[in-house]
Amino acid sequence: MEVRTLDNGLRVALAPCEAESVAVGVFIASGSRHETERTAGISHLIEHMLFKGTPTRTPLQITQAVEGRGGNFNACTSEETTCYFTHMPDEYLAESVDLLADMYLNATIPEDEFAREKGVVIEEIRMYEDEPDSVAMENLQRSLFPSSRLGAPVAGSEASLRPLRPEDLRRYIKAHYLPSNTVVVVVGSFDPDEAFGVVSRAFAPLRRSRPPRPAGPAGRSRPSPSRVSVSRDVQQTQVAIGYRTFGIRDRRKYAAVVFDALMGRGMSSRLFQSVRERRGLSYDIASRMQFFSDAGMWVVSAGVAPDKADAAIATIDREFERIRAHRVSAAELRRTKEFLAGNFRLSHERVTSKLFFYGHTLLSFGRVVESEEQVAGIRAVTADDVVAVARAVIDPGRRVLSLVTPGGGRAQGVC
């Protein structure tokens, strides 16, 4: 693994490995957090529009360039990042890079395609509004980050998308799709010098630029516990409990990852064993630790029968108190760390998993975090580290509970 830099400042991570394929990703430090209330959802809409044609490729030709060779092609937008990537047989490295660079540099955003795709994204938003777990998570995140764009939906809203015009997207691309703000990652079977040459030629039109202005602050969390409840036409009650945490550069991040796995990742986790296996209160329950650059959140979610919701929440809260009050045993800590290390190593047998890990760590830290460093960080966590993180994260005064409950209407309340 090595990182090289073009004359215009674009960083290129090259990670050759044993494979019969090559994955190429373009990662941009631009997401919903970089937007304003007026432009909410524009990053995600741009992601869609880059597939809609360039001066030399129609939308169908863009798709056929990858699928016609048996490859996979996609993109994703989050709070702080947008990524476009291909996964192709290894002989198509040059074609992959050329296609992604063409989309990045030359997207035309035609008026007819724009109007049509904006309608598609609005339907996507409506789809999420019909999914109780998505609604519970969106309300939870808004409550955890009430004064920050981190609390806003990545896709925006119908109200924010309707007024947008193609020229708004072009201005946003010009301000954010910059070499200083972008990394290209290549993983798989390839020659590093050849790959760097291909990337250099394809992205040569980019001019060196100043870094864009940083995203707005994460803001303060609510000063007291909060509860958000929404009524929907569903049969289960969707429960999401969340807490604000620290950012990805915090030295406690590995302890936080171990804490999260111990509590809610996999069937051996405490919450799964307590809520499902011993009490039968939910079919599935899981936790998730998500880091942003300067903040984060830890979330526990479950779907339960309405008459079991109170018992499930009480059981979850008891597990919260137990991890705060008692030291983790050596055996449980060892199992949890080996679960994480093994899971990470197995996932890195896939070139696309390597691609995303390297791309995100390069954007987050300005360097690539090697697999060995990640595993070593996990294995170095102690029982005292886990308890310290549990006490820092599970602050009863900062707890947010988000519910989607059965009911025919769209009523919503916050207390």
Give the CATH number, domain containing residue 398: 3.30.830.10
**Is 146 found in the same domain as 65?**
yes
Quick one: pLDDT at residue 411? 45
**Is 352 found in the same domain as 291?**
yes
CA angle 29, 32, 36 (to 5 degrees): 115
Quick one: pLDDT at residue 224? 52
Picking from 202, 235, 258, the residue at the C-terminal end of a domain is: 202
Under 8 Å CB-to-CB from 263, ≥6 apart: which residues?
269, 270, 271, 287, 300, 319, 323
**Is 92 found in the same domain as 173?**
yes
**Is 160 found in the same domain as 80?**
yes
Identify whether 220 is part of a domain. Answer: no
Instruction: Identify the DSSP state of 127.
Output: H
User: In the structure, what pLDDT confidence band is assigned to residue 285 with cuts at 50, 70 and 90?
Assistant: very high
Please give the positions annotated as active site. 47
Picking from 144, 167, 202, the residue at the C-terminal end of a domain is: 202
Q: d(Cα 78, Cα 154) in Å, to the nearest integer?
A: 6
Quick one: pLDDT at residue 216? 74
For 353-374, the DSSP string reads HHHHHHHHHHHHHSSPPPHHHH
Phi/psi at 349 (5° precision)? -75, -15
Picking from 187, 202, 217, the residue at the C-terminal end of a domain is: 202
Segments forming the whole domain that contains residue 390: 226-414
Residue in the block written with tokens 């005292």: 384
Sheet holding 412-414, edge to edge: 282-291, 296-304, 237-245, 400-406, 226-232, 412-414
Q: Into how many domains does the chain fold? A: 2
Quick one: pLDDT at residue 414? 43
Q: d(Cα 87, Cα 64) in Å, to the nearest integer?
A: 13
The tokens for 262 are 């111990």
Pairing of strands 11-16, 182-188: parallel
Identify whether 90 is part of a domain. Answer: yes
pLDDT in tens, 22-76: 999 999 999 999 999 999 999 999 999 999 999 999 999 999 999 999 999 999 9
**Is 253 found in the same domain as 172?**
no
User: In the structure, what pLDDT confidence band is assigned to residue 225 with cuts at 50, 70 and 90?
Assistant: low
pLDDT in tens, 240-261: 999 999 999 999 999 999 999 9
**Is 81 found in the same domain as 197?**
yes
- CA atoms within 13 Å, Cβ hemisphere of 60: 0
Of the chain, the percentage scoring pLDDT greater than 70 comes to: 97
Identify whether 214 is part of a domain. Answer: no
Identify whether 218 is part of a domain. Answer: no
For 369-401, the DSSP string reads PPHHHHHHHHHT--HHHHHHHHHHH--GGG-EE
Under 8 Å CB-to-CB from 68, ≥6 apart: which residues?
none
Mapped onto helix, strand or coil, the DSSP state of residue 116 is helix
Quick one: pLDDT at residue 279? 97
Quick one: pLDDT at residue 219? 74
Q: d(Cα 283, Cα 275) in Å, to the nearest integer?
A: 9
**Is 261 found in the same domain as 181?**
no
Q: d(Cα 116, Cα 161) in Å, to the nearest integer?
A: 12
**Is 409 found in the same domain as 349?**
yes
Beta pairing partners, 13: 3, 185
Q: d(Cα 74, Cα 87) in Å, to the nearest integer?
A: 9
**Is 197 found in the same domain as 235?**
no
Quick one: pLDDT at residue 346? 94
**Is 359 found in the same domain as 323?**
yes
Identify whether 213 is part of a domain. Answer: no
Identify whether 52 is part of a domain. Answer: yes
Quick one: pLDDT at residue 117? 96
